[in-house]
Amino acid sequence: MNPAPDPLTTSAPAVTQDLAARFSQEFGSAPDGIWQAPGRVNLIGEHTDYNEGFVLPFAINRTARVAVRVRPGSSVRLLSTYGDQGLVSTRLDSLEPGSAKGWTKYPLGVMWALKQRGIAVPGVDLLLDSDVPLGAGLSSSHAIECAVISALNDLTGAGLEAQEMVLATQRAENDFVGAPTGIMDQSASLRGSEGHAVFLDCRNQNVRLVPFETQPADLVMLVIDTKVSHSHADGGYASRRASCELGAEVLGVKALRDVQLGDLAEASGLLDEVTFRRVRHVVTENDRVLQTVELLASQGPGAIGPLLDASHTSMRDDFEISCPELDLAVDASRASGAIGARMTGGGFGGAAIALTPVALEQKVRDAVATAFADAGFKAPDIFAVSPAAGARRIA
Ligand code: GLA
């Protein structure tokens, strides 16, 4: 993929040097390289990816980084700076779904998926570091997978294109980790670009980078991590996906992407009430993505607030994947001056985003923190994000 931009010398940024030094200390010699991949925020287009629809995520300036060295033989040694599992050693030929625990599922899932594609994966030593908050709906797991696949793609000379890496990491998630997710997160992480959102057509994987910068519009994108952790391997995500598949089957289409706004009236007569609401979310959400792309081009980010709000309402009422903490984050930030807010990611916890005038940033932060304290919820973590570069080799 990418040539090494920096040797592991004093010219490398501190974070890279620290990781290289830690790797040498743990594994006895320097890594072959360091790769990083970002988490993502989804601007809009939720639960549309596995319905072959449209999404508009962006890579964020929070990344997972892996220092990797190829080792002789077929054993793998994994360590993270989280320090929760210590050194994990395993053999490549013993990898199978269900065989890994904790964060090691993600690198091992990628190795397994590459092997399934017939790629000769070598033994490696790997040290992971990440500042993507875990379980916050910002794709911390995909950031790990995308950093690892970028590293292995380079180290094996496999020459996979970004789309192929997207599908391999999806296979790792679906079949090794056991989370029936779509292709949005890894597409943002692998194909993101600074100052842009990734407009992805999930039917054909075509990507158009859409300029998206909040600063020139005097806006800031705040992430409100509710600290309600979620997992896509739990039942909620899968049951929403199953409802969508049922809806498509009853309506006689390949995927809900093929249902238009004008078809909804007829669909309401054909579907049970709950399935209809699930379908209505997906159909209206696809339309909101297209409208957002148009508005960003014609008027800029200051114009998309109402679409973010409508997306949240649809997820809360039709798709029913919000939770009290997410609703409060959205309501409190809107009431204190955000121009649009919505939960982002798979739902059932995780984070909300609030597009906020710079002049009101502190007010919104304070209002959300106070509302959470008053409601007796855990203190949220609130931070600003901006669209950042996708996965790459950094040393
Ligand atoms: C998770 C999944 C994605 C997508 C979103 C919901 O982040 O990993 O594939 O389905 O939920 O939009």
Looking at every residue in the chain, the average pLDDT score rounds to: 95
Domains of the chain: 14-209+389-393 (3.30.230.10), 213-385 (3.30.70.890)
The helices-and-strands tally (H runs, E runs) of the chain is 11, 12
Q: 30 alpha carbon to ligand 1 midpoint, in Å?
A: 36
- Give the whole-angstrom CA distance, residue 334 versus residue 210: 25
**Cα–Cα distance measured from residue 100 to residue 119, given in angstroms and rounded to the nearest whole number:** 20
User: For residue range 171-205, what is the model confidence (pLDDT) as tens digits?
Assistant: 999 999 999 999 999 999 999 999 999 999 999 99
Q: Whose CA is closest to atom 8 on ligand 1?
A: 181
| pLDDT tier for residue 233 given thresholds of 50, 70 and 90 | low
> What's the token pair of residue 356?
């906020």
CB-based pocket (< 6 A), ligand 1: 42, 46-47, 49-50, 181-182, 184-185, 232, 345-346
- How many Cα neighbours within 13 Å face the side chain of 137? 31
Write down the residue that tokens 């519009």 correspond to: 217
Q: How far apart are CA 311 and CA 307, in angstroms?
A: 6
Query: Which pLDDT tens digit goes with each residue over 279-288?
Result: 999 999 999 9
At 34, give phi and psi (nearest 5°).
-130, 135
Q: 4 pLDDT exceeds 60?
A: no
Identity of the amino acid at 92: L
Residue 121: Cβ-neighbour burial (10 angstroms; 0-12, 13-18, 19+) = buried
Taking the complete model, does pTM exceed 0.85, yes or no? yes
262: β partners: none
Count the neighbouring beta carbons within 10 Å of the beta carbon of residue 89: 10
Question: Which pLDDT value is given to residue 14?
Answer: 82
Write the pLDDT tens digit of every residue in 300-310: 999 999 999 99
Active site residues: 185
Encode pLDDT of 354-384 as tens digits. 999 999 999 999 999 999 999 999 999 999 9
The C-alpha angle with vertex 22 and arms to 21 and 27, in degrees rounded to 5, equals 100
Helix (H, G, I), strand (E, B) or coil at 366: helix
Q: How far is CA 361 from CA 79, 216, 371, in A?
A: 38, 15, 15
| Local confidence band at 234 (pLDDT 50, 70, 90 cut-offs) | confident
